[in-house]
Amino acid sequence: MEKLKQPPLLQSLHEVMRTIVFNPASALVVVIAAALMRRSQMSLAALLNPWEVSLLVWLSGYAAVRVALLGFVDGVVWFLAPRLPPLPSRVGPKPVYQHQINAMDVTYLLINSTIEYVFAQQIGHLLWHAPFIVRAPELLGLLNGPLAFWLLLVVDDMLYAPLHRFMHLQSIYKYVH
């Protein structure tokens, strides 16, 4: 008896479930996150929504940020791309591999953009409420202003880049990326 072939979207959704939900690495992340949240007595709601806004406001903010960033990035690419030489990976005899975006890609894009949005909310909440953050304009200086912001980005990249590279190892990639 011939096995029925599933539509590509359904196959892709099964891959999402297998890769993200039924995955030992995902379970480990959930256990570690739950333990850290319990240790610091933080609820999931406080982690995801430090400003305690309604779900509609939270989702509207997420959508506004995505649209603004997409418009900005697309605008910059549209403006700059014709003026710059192609990247080395985009020239040569070997054609550039491009695969069609599927449910797995969309899922990871949503997860990553949600993490970025939550991170930005947490940083904003910390900047707004933390007593050790200087807010008076006359107290701002090079060290606690632009340099501190630059260091935030550097430290973030110092953590992100090696971890992202690790996730691209062949033995790890199928479980976490």
Segment 91-107, tens digit of pLDDT: 888 887 777 888 888 88
pLDDT given at position 122: 95
Task: Look at residues 173, 59, 164 and name the one whose alpha carbon lies nearest to residue 110.
Answer: 59
Q: How many Å apart are CA 56 and CA 60, to the nearest integer? A: 6
pLDDT given at position 4: 65
Q: Does the pLDDT value for residue 2 go beyond 60? A: no
Q: Does the pLDDT value for residue 1 go beyond 60? A: no
**Residue 91, domain member (yes or no):** no
pLDDT given at position 91: 83
Residues 145 and 78 both lie in one domain: no
Q: Stretch 24-32: mean pLDDT, rounded?
A: 87
Residues 81 and 23 both lie in one domain: no
Structural domain total, the chain: 3
Q: Stretch 85-94: mean pLDDT, rounded?
A: 83
Residues 114 and 171 both lie in one domain: no
Q: What does the mean pLDDT of the chain come to?
A: 87
The boundaries of the domain holding residue 70 are: 54-85+105-133
* Neighbour-count burial of 148, counting CB atoms closer than 10 A to its CB (0-12 exposed, 13-18 middle, 19+ buried): middle
Q: Does the pLDDT value for residue 8 go beyond 80? A: no
Enter the DSSP assignment of 7.
Answer: P
pLDDT given at position 177: 57
Residues 127 and 139 both lie in one domain: no
Task: Look at residues 157, 177, 156 and name the one whose alpha carbon lies nearest to residue 166.
Answer: 177
pLDDT given at position 47: 95
pLDDT given at position 25: 80
